[in-house]
Structure 1
Amino acid sequence: MGTTIDTEYTPCSIEFCPVQSQSKTFLGSCGFYQTEQKKDQEASESPEVERNGRCILFETSLEDDRISSASVVSILRAILDQRWFVPHLVTVQPPSSLDRIFDIRTQDPQQPILITADALGGLTSYKLSLPIDDSPRLDKIHSLACCPPEESILCLSLDISDKKYRTSTAKIVCSLSNGQVVLLTQHPTTMNEEHRWNAHQFEPWTCGFDYWQPETILTGGDDCKLKVWDTRNSFVQPVLTNKQFDGGVTAIRSHHLREHLFAVGSYDSNLRIFDKRNFTNPVMKEECGGGIWRIKWDEVNPERVLLATMHGGFKVLQISDNEPYQSSEEGEEKSPRYPTLNASVISSFSHRSDLAYGADWAPKISSSVNSSSPHPSLVAGCSFYDRAIHFWTLD
């Protein structure tokens, strides 16, 4: 399957809902960000611009190439980033030695929540409704202004802490164009700010949780620095700062299937994978042909990662261990074993991809017992200047 749909606005983020509307049919949201010079404005070297946008809810199917836009959620605010959150009925805390318990999770599949970050410095949450006799829709729950709209500060990115351990509430981290980072708590009907701190000298393009230890937050900015923060400590200074980047740090993603690993993207076109036990040097560095704006690990395959590489299009990389097992000599004290990884491109999509900004994996469909082969993986990407959303599949 390979399908492209044209969009009226310029898209910059796309996310699949983790809950399917029906078998082999997927729901997702796409956020749009478009700048236009203000009307009735005299010509100048630095004209004021309006940042307009919207968020659409779409459906797509694996069985045919049907793609439909179900509803327009917002037409006033430009959306820079978004995340889905599925509240669970029971609040749980990540245990140190009983991780397997969390394979059994209690959730309300009818109440996924979408949180968007916009160009007016705000976060907005929407509840997904799936009426039996009508199209899916998003109903607004709550808006929170991280900054007054008149200050022209943008919410650049956001992340939610529940990728590994699902709870009835979750932590949210968002980065602002004034260099600040904000930590919040998401409740069923509200979002509450907990902490705010000055993280970077220039725009912090990205932020993310360590999904295995959500008290750890990573941020990256246009100052070419990757910073690690511990929410249990003071926010005056980071736990660690890595300055090895040749361009701004633009994307961060904790590996939800493999502890300690983080993928980090930069304008310098290199994908770096770090082991959090040693942030000095990456365990892998791979040139990807374009600035890396979005990183998504496969939901079930720990060796695959999806990238939106701006002018380099979309890529799926296979990340393999060079030496998966390193045993110590008998009698020697064992030391932490850091993986050594290599990457190979197993899929790419660059046709009509002018500035690839957003990308995501669709939720995996469980194969039936009698099925002779697993279902293919559905991938979506959105490219900015050609105003297009692309869908394709991988075996």
Structure 2
Amino acid sequence: MLWSGALWKAGTTSWCHVPVAEHPLLAVANAKGAVEFCCLTGSEKNSCKFKPLCSVDLGDECLTLSLDWSTGRKQGGSPLQLVSSDSKGRLSLLSVDESSPSVHIMQQWKAHDFEAWIAAFDYWNTHVIYSGGDDSKLRGWDARVSPMAPVFTCERHSMGVCSIQCHPLRENLLATGSYDEHVLLWDTRNMKQSLADTHVQGGVWRLKWHPTQEHLLLAACMHNGFKILNCQGAMEENKERCPVLSSYVLHNSLAYGADWSRLTLKNPLVLSTEMPVVHEDEGATHVDLEVHNLKIVYESPTATFDVLLDEDQTPASPVQVEGSFDFQQPGPGGDGSNTKLAKAQRETSLLATCSFYDNVLHVWKWEISQTISSA
């Protein structure tokens, strides 16, 4: 099963978004301050295994706290890069040679006074890197110039900044989360004022944009479970808050890891890489959402798993829905009037979540209906 990013407790594992030498590539940050690289290969028994490739040490007496690939828009190319952050407040920019394979540190610099909890690329301009630290600062860096001075420093969060993700489908949109329990959306062209501010009542350890539905944002909220936010209003209508579509609270420990699967449920061997596009000439006016059952499809105390999707699985705890997301039936037609017609699309997403102290991984699916109304 391929996921779009990190799953484990501290977000210190990360899949490259594109195959390397025709194999999935995984970066693993360990507690010894090193980043290890493995590829996923097939075995003789019709299963998969990890093959160690290479590793790089980031320095003595540090913990590697986050990893992010430069391939967030699913675009390959040279050089293949990875950025990491560590417990000494440093960022390290790594270059991966796909032919060897080998890895080396291109640049390393002090970014924060305390732990640098998170580092992330701007997927639309991978020379730009964002970082967040326990000093409550969100910073931007340009790798083409001296990294000794940040491009900007923002102190909008009141506590440590521990999650950042650039939107892979919408340019200039950035999501950040903090121990202060707030998720902020930003237009990267103006980092003085956030676009939206949502209080999720739990420290936001990880944020993940949906790989195809650009308005959906998954948040791991530590003491308050996992939440799916609808950011459509903030993107299109300048609303200052993103309503919570669903909450998942079956974990009995800190909600630390969360991610969407990039595989389609109809064919689990095919990556879902294209986002449904509504063209302007179709006269689209808005998209309404109806949330369906949230079902748990796998629970395990280990990170090794096989998933079988079964429509008859017993639903998990009730979905908590905020706001009105009504399914609109197509209106009457044929009378010559300018009647809005509705096109209904139903999408099922597969997610994985994991918690800290109990070491449990949950795999679950979440269904929504989209009604696209047009004139």
- Fold agreement, TM-score > 0.5: yes
What aligned pairs does 1:325-344 form with structure 2 within 5 A after superposition? 339-340=238-239, 342-344=241-243
The secondary structure found in structure 1 opposite 2:264 is: coil
CA gap 1:86/1:292 in 2 versus in 1, 3 angstroms: closer
* SS at 1:321 equivalent: helix
Task: Pick from 86, 91, 110 the counterpart of residue 176 of structure 1.
Answer: 86
Letter in 2 for 1:137: K
Q: Which has the higher contact order (CA 8 A, sep 6+)?
A: 1
Aligned pair partner of 1:362 in 239, 261, 271: 261
Q: How far did residue 387 of structure 1 move? A: 2.1
User: Scaled by the length of structure 1, what TM-score is found?
Assistant: 0.68
Quote the Cα distance in structure 2 between the aligned partners of 1:356 and 1:185: 31
- 2:59 pairs with 1:160: no
Correspondent of 1:222 among 104, 123, 134: 134
Partner of 1:186: 96
Number of corresponding residues? 288
1:236 aligned residue (148, 159, 167): 148
Gaps of 5+ in 1: 1-14, 19-27, 33-78, 89-106, 326-338
The reply on whether 1:347 has 2:246 as its aligned counterpart is yes
1: CA distance between counterparts of 2:146 and 2:190? 22
In 2 relative to 1, CA 373–284 (structure 1 residues): closer, same or farther, beyond 3 Å? closer
Is the Cα–Cα contact under 8 Å of residues 87 and 169 in structure 1 kept in the other structure? no
Query: CA offsets, 1:155-210, max 9 Å, x none?
Result: 11111110113225411111111111111112221111111111000101001000
Q: 1:305 pairs with 201, 217, 222, which one?
A: 217
One-letter amino acid matched to 2:77: T
- Identity among equivalent positions (%) equals 34
Answering whether residue 365 of structure 2 is matched by residue 393 of structure 1, we say: yes
Kindly state the Cα deviation for residue 323 of structure 1 after the two structures are TM-superposed: 7.7
TM-score by length of 2: 0.72
CA 1:166–1:342 in structure 2 vs 1: closer, same or farther (change >3 Å)? farther
CA distance in 2 between counterparts of 1:318 and 1:16 reads: 24
Report the equivalent of 1:200. 112
**Gapped runs of 5+ residues in structure 2?**
268-343, 368-375
**Counterpart contact for 2:120–2:165, Cα < 8 Å:** yes
Question: Which amino acid letter does the alignment assign opposite residue 70 of structure 2?
Answer: S
How far apart, in 1, do the equivalents of 2:118 and 2:132 lie?
Answer: 5
Distance in 1 between the 2:156 and 2:13 partners? 28
Structure 1 position 383 matched with structure 2 position 355? yes
Deviation at 1:322, TM superposition (A): 5.4
Q: What CA RMSD, in Å, does the superposition of the two structures yield over aligned residues?
A: 2.3
Residue type at the aligned position of 1:82:
T
In the TM superposition, residue 391 of structure 1 has moved relative to its aligned partner by 1.6
